[in-house]
Structure 1
């Protein structure tokens, strides 16, 4: 997942790898807290949401709000989609 995020953000250096890894984990946790039970980074929707989340914090500053809105929309769509929500007994 790290390489996918770096490629999407046009980052070639390894200097930010630790920070990006932390953001990937934070994105997956944020999705879980929001009720998205699927945390498979190979799933195209999960992968795109993780990339967008990372772009909020690592992307150009002038696009932060736009990327945050995009991430929130992706998260909301997955919350309502069949196969992405947590089972009732695992809801936070």
Structure 2
């Protein structure tokens, strides 16, 4: 996930790896707080989870980003859609 997000942020060095990892963790935790079960879907490949994390990182990386508001709204919209979907919020039921 780190390399994918770095590519999206157009980062080629390892200088910001710790900050990007923190953003990825923060996005996952924010989704969990909203009720999204990120473990249910393969969060490394699930397109909606990956997109949410990507947009979160783009909105929160760096200081001088003119698109912060637009990106934050986009992230909140994706998060809202995920929280409204049973596929992402209901635990899997296993039968004995």
Could you tell me the TM-score, scaled by structure 2's length?
A: 0.84
Instruction: Give the count of matched residue pairs.
Output: 87
1:57 aligned partner: 60
Q: Flag the structure with larger Rg.
A: 2
1:90 aligned partner: none
Between the aligned partners of 2:48 and 2:28, the Cα distance in structure 1 is 12
Q: C-alpha offsets along residues 24-69 of structure 1, whole Å, 9 cap, x if unaligned?
A: 0010000000010124232111011000000011165101111000
- Deviation beyond 2 Å, 4+ runs, structure 1: none
1:80 aligned partner: 84
**Which structure 2 residue ranges, 5 or more long, are not aligned?**
92-96
Query: Is 1:38–1:83's contact at 8 Å kept on the other side of the alignment?
Result: no
